[in-house]
């Protein structure tokens, strides 16, 4: 049985997660001026990791939304297998 993905809904979920990641990174960034030594290093590492995750979610969410638009417009055919990004 063919199960059709709701790419627009899936994309919106990724974008929602990207916003949550950015918000968390922004909160940590505010703590940087008061941090020293190892705490400063660890905060920068966490912020960097969250930024990478944010960018991945943002990119994936936008790609999924675009795929959903193409399906709605009939310019994308249903495919089996991996999502092309």
Q: How far apart are CA 12 and CA 20, in angstroms?
A: 13
User: What pLDDT is attached to residue 76?
Assistant: 65
Instruction: Tell whether 79 is covered by a domain.
Output: no
pLDDT in tens, 13-70: 999 999 999 999 999 999 999 999 999 999 999 999 999 999 999 999 999 999 999 8
Instruction: Tell whether 60 is covered by a domain.
Output: yes
Instruction: Tell whether 61 is covered by a domain.
Output: yes
Q: How many domains would you assign to the chain?
A: 1
* Domain enclosing residue 50, as ranges: 7-73
Beta carbons within 8 Å of 69's beta carbon, 6+ residues apart: 8
Q: How far apart are CA 76 and CA 22, in angstroms?
A: 31
pLDDT at 84 over 70: no
């Amino acid at each position: 049985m063919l199960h059709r993905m709701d790419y627009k809904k899936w994309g919106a979920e990724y974008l929602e997660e990207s916003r949550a990641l950015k918000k968390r990174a922004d909160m940590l960034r505010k703590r940087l001026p008061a941090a020293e030594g190892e705490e400063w290093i660890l905060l920068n590492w966490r912020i960097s990791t969250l930024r990478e995750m944010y960018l991945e979610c943002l990119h994936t969410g936008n790609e999924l939304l675009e795929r959903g638009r193409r399906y709605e417009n009939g310019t994308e055919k249903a495919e089996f297998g991996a999502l092309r990004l």
